[in-house]
Amino acid sequence: MSDVLTKPAPEAPPARTRKLPGPRIYVWAAGAVLLLVLPFYLERFWLQAGLFAMAAAIGAIGLNLLTGATGQLSMGHAFFLAVGAYGYCVFAGDGDGELTGLGLPTWLALVLAVGLAGVAGGVFSPIAGRLRGAYLGIATLALIFIGQHVLFNAHDLTGGFNGRDVPPLSLFGITFDDSELLVAAVPFGASEKLWYLGLVLLAAGGLFARGVLRGRPGRAMNAIRDHQIAAGVMGVPVARYRAAVFVLSSMYAGLAGVLLAMIFQRTVPEYFGMVISLEYLAMIVIGGLGSVSGAVVGAVFVSLLPQILTRYSDSLPLVSEAGTGGVSPGEAAKYLYGAALVAVVLFLPGGLVRLAARRSSATPEEPSGTEGNDR
């Protein structure tokens, strides 16, 4: 009895301390607010440049899922961009004159165009599920040649060499064209309206891809990339995953193609050639393979560089307009991000996004062993 009376009372569990948000949360919040208010202050050139970067980032995220996370080389990304862009024009077009158009609501045309790009990827997915490395790259390269032939010769669908106009998107009573819309006494045209549409599409695509990479599918994709035979032994259906990721990547490219078509307001076949496929590969390598944020960083770098050089060509040495004795802005941009590619491969294999990760002292967001995923 005395032992019971003299036994010390158990210590109360320590009170839980409320974890304060880290500085990264405030940085993200400040960045989001900045992006939301930019259309009120930026001129049209910078809005257009930002929109090109958003469209490129969406397509680069899809390619990074395929190449960076799963290890499947694709050279045919431009083909699926074209499917999305021209699919939207056909679904939403009125079909007046010589061009075919179904006259569907534009929001439905957007969804169907992305789905059509997924169907095109699904048709090719049995090949993608069985080939790897350079063999898949060569096979997807054939898609560009097929696509270019169709775009230049299927005049009823594509308008041929001259392309076709892009119907403006109408959503929630807002038409994303140059008709003036006053917001806080600021006139909003097509660029300002599309800015917010691009932000929504990019955020949705980035969050979805991030969820895929950080979940069970992402671990399976990384296993396939790192060692295909070991992944199969562990029970991962390698061919099925490769085919599914190829379809998903195609849908991302289709969405990017639709947004690009709305920005240009006219589709032309020459844009969807081999060069743009190579640029998308440069984006994911420079930004960081297997990383959503790396795809965005690489897309911003590669898409904005030629436009900035064009804008300030008069102030830069050796950069001038074509035919004036210097290097044109487009050529200078290719030299610079070509040099960036070499530098990243040699000295920074994780891409530009790893520079920020190395400087950050925060705990990584995922356990070790998933280095290819978004951190």
Block mean pLDDT (10 aa), the chain, length 375: 52 55 74 86 88 95 91 90 94 82 91 95 85 83 92 90 89 80 74 91 94 90 86 85 92 95 91 91 90 91 87 73 67 82 83 72 42 45
Q: How far apart are CA 222 and CA 213, in angstroms?
A: 9
Q: So what's the pLDDT on residue 148?
A: 93
Q: So what's the pLDDT on residue 371?
A: 44
Q: What is the SS3 assignment for the chain?
A: CHHHHHCCCCCCCCCCCCCCCCHHHHHHHHHHHHHHHHHHCCCHHHHHHHHHHHHHHHHHHHHHHHHHHCCCCCCCHHHHHHHHHHHHHHHHCCCCCCCCCCCCCHHHHHHHHHHHHHHHHHHHHHHHHHCCCHHHHHHHHHHHHHHHHHHHHCHHHHCHHHCEECCCCEECCEECCCCCEEECCEEECHHHHHHHHHHHHHHHHHHHHHHHHHCHHHHHHHHHHHCHHHHHHCCCCHHHHHHHHHHHHHHHHHHHHHHHHHHHCEECHHHHCHHHHHHHHHHHHHHCCCCHHHHHHHHHHHHHHHHHHHHCCCCCCCECCCCCCCECHHHHHHHHHHHHHHHHHHHCCCCCHHHHHHHCCCCCCCCCCCCCCCC
Q: So what's the pLDDT on residue 333?
A: 80
Q: So what's the pLDDT on residue 366?
A: 41
Q: Which of 72, 59, 64 is nearest to 125 (CA)?
A: 72
Q: How far apart are CA 172 and CA 109, in angstroms?
A: 15
